[in-house]
Amino acid sequence: MLKVLIIEAISKDPYHTVFSPLGPAYLASYLCKYSKIKEIDVKMIFSDGEFDFRRYNPDIVGISSVTETFNIAKRIAAFVKGNKDIPVVIGGVHISALPSNMSSDMDAAVIGEGEQTFLELLETHAGKGLTKANLSGIQGIAYRDDGRLIQTKERELIAPLDLIPPPARQLQKKNKRDIWMITSRGCPYKCIFCSAAQFWKTVRFFSPRYVVNEIKSLIEMYHPETINIVDDLFILQKQRFNEIVDLIVKEKINERVRFTVLVRPNLIDEDICLGLKRMNVTLVGCGFESGSAKALSVIKQNQTLEDNVNATRLLRKHGILVGAFFMMGIPGETIKDMEETYHFIQEQEYSRGESYVLTPFPGTQVWDSAKSRGLVNDNMNWDHFTMDFYKHPKDSIIVSEVPREELFKEYMRMRKMWERKKAMVTSPVEALRTAGILYLVKLIRHNPYRVWSFFIAFLRASFTRRK
């Protein structure tokens, strides 16, 4: 029996893990379906460092992490090696961008899409062993040989995407508030803050039948009130989108569950809105990014201020709520540009949304720019990427040319505006029901400012309504 333990490195702050990562669950389902190993036991956990090793006693460990949790991934790898001399494999978007970050406790790194690569690593380990000679024959990995970083030939992507079975959510602790799915991989756009285009290389879609079957499975397993579809490209292919909508309506899924989706504003038109309404989408999240035409042109490909206005108008026309997401601290952005964004949000009367300070993550264009300016480097302390700007204004990684003090002032102004808006449309009771008691307890422990600021905003909103 080959015991496989897949670990997602996670932060203690629940705000950073609102949705349980699906990457490890896809990995587990792929292994279970395609492994030629006669006896294989796959387990999956989330960890922020140490865990009950004896409970799992694995023969091989796979760790997935993003940049914010890469230091945690290194601690997990060291912890595993300290308990048992077994292979440790690291994967995820961070190591794919910076394979040189492999620690001495990591035997191999999966670069890019991981399912087939990790499967081959497992089968090689179970058969001939993960020697340097055997590693050299596996595509899509990196490893060290006498201190030298070796990268093997890039692996071809899995096609068609339907070959990958739905994620093994049964291996995760989930509840009906944490139900989300993706319907595609990759992105044709090259926004400067996003690594999707580089990580996935090309765009692939799950078929309409695959998507609808997964939705039906989620309903049967969890009986959710809402299913969140979180890839930006859900509506990119109109024919595919319409086929999904037709299947949902034909099988009366729209009468059993509501949906939220993420979309690019430039893809919204009348027909798309009609389809979203038919499938019972109640909320659409849009990355509007900026209310300044100049700043928007810097960070977002093929999206204009007019697209933002048009998408907002059409969604509201069809009675669909709009979640509005914006960025600040954009390269070249001035205080005047931030003022334009502030007023744009007010003019469009968004009530649900957030403004974030742009962070230069590895694998993005803005990372390369920040690196050339000496703001970041390939061997920095990755814990800096877990630092929220409002709590660590002096230490957070930013690329803005605006002085930190002024940026912080504008950021807090924006945050307080969003808190007031949310408090006008959301009561504490609704927030508790939506988030769940356990999530809020964790949030109070690790990120109390968010809870406190919302409570203050709610009191102010209540006072304003009474007046």
Q: For residue 341, what is the domain's CATH number?
A: 3.20.20.70
The mean pLDDT of the chain is: 90
Q: What is the pLDDT, as a whole number, of residue 391? A: 86
At residue 335, does pLDDT exceed 70? yes
Q: Are 184 and 124 part of one and the same domain?
A: no
DSSP run (H or E) holding 185: strand 184-185
High-pLDDT (> 70) share of the chain, %: 88
In this structure, the answer to whether residues 421 and 439 fall within a common structural domain is no
Is there a single domain that holds both residue 384 and residue 459? no
Tell if the pTM clears 0.75, that is, is over it: yes
pLDDT at 70 over 90: yes
Residues 141 and 235 in one domain: no
* Same domain flag for 411 and 436: no
- Confirm whether 160 is domain-assigned: no
Average pLDDT over residues 323-340: 96
Give the end of a domain, one of 120, 151, 182.
151
- What confidence tens digit (pLDDT) does each residue in 134-187 have? 999 999 999 999 999 999 999 999 999 999 999 999 888 766 666 999 999 999
* Alpha-carbon distance values, 439 to 172, 364, 397, 436 (Å): 16, 31, 27, 6
- The whole-number pLDDT of residue 419 equals 86
Q: What angle do CA 169, 174, 179 make, to 5 degrees?
A: 80
How confident is the model at residue 21, as a pLDDT?
Answer: 85
Distance CA 324, CA 38 (A): 49
In this structure, is residue 363 part of a structural domain?
yes
Higher-pLDDT residue of 370, 232 = 370
Q: Are residues 393 and 431 in the same domain?
A: no
Largest pairwise CA distance in the chain? 76
| Pair 45, 81 in one domain | yes
pLDDT tens profile 28-46 = 999 999 999 989 999 999 9
* Confidence (pLDDT) at 369: 95
pLDDT over threshold 80, residue 452: no
163: in domain: no
Domain match, 122 and 226 both: no
Query: Does residue 137 form part of some domain?
Result: yes
**Per the domain annotation, does 164 fall within a domain?**
no
The answer to whether position 157 is within a domain reads no
Closest by alpha carbon to 13, among 439, 359, 352, 325? Answer: 439
Neighbour tally for 131: CB within 10 Å? 10
Distance between CA 426 and CA 104 in Å, rounded? 48
**Residue 31, pLDDT score:** 97
Whether residue 234 sits in one domain with residue 101: no
d(CA 12, CA 83): 23
Boundary-marking domain end, from 99, 116, 151: 151
Percent of the chain with pLDDT over 90: 78
CATH number of the domain at 112, please. 3.40.50.280
Overall domain count for the chain: 3
* Domain encompassing residue 456: 427-467
Q: What are phi and psi of 191, to 5 degrees?
A: -65, 140
More confident residue, 314 or 196: 314
Higher pLDDT among residues 387 and 411, named by residue = 411
pLDDT at 336: 97
* CA atoms of 195 and 359, how far apart (whole Å): 12
The average pLDDT across 240-254 equals 98
Rg (CA), the chain: 23
241 and 381 part of one domain: yes
Q: Which residues touch 167 (CB under 8 Å, ≥6 apart)?
A: 22, 25, 26, 28, 29
Q: Is residue 198 part of a domain?
A: yes
> Do both 456 and 378 map to the same domain?
no
Domain shared by 298 and 351, yes or no: yes
Quick one: which H or E segment has residue 4?
strand 2-9
Predicted confidence at residue 396, as pLDDT, reads 92
Q: Tell me, what's the pLDDT at 12?
A: 76
User: How high is the pLDDT of residue 390?
Assistant: 86
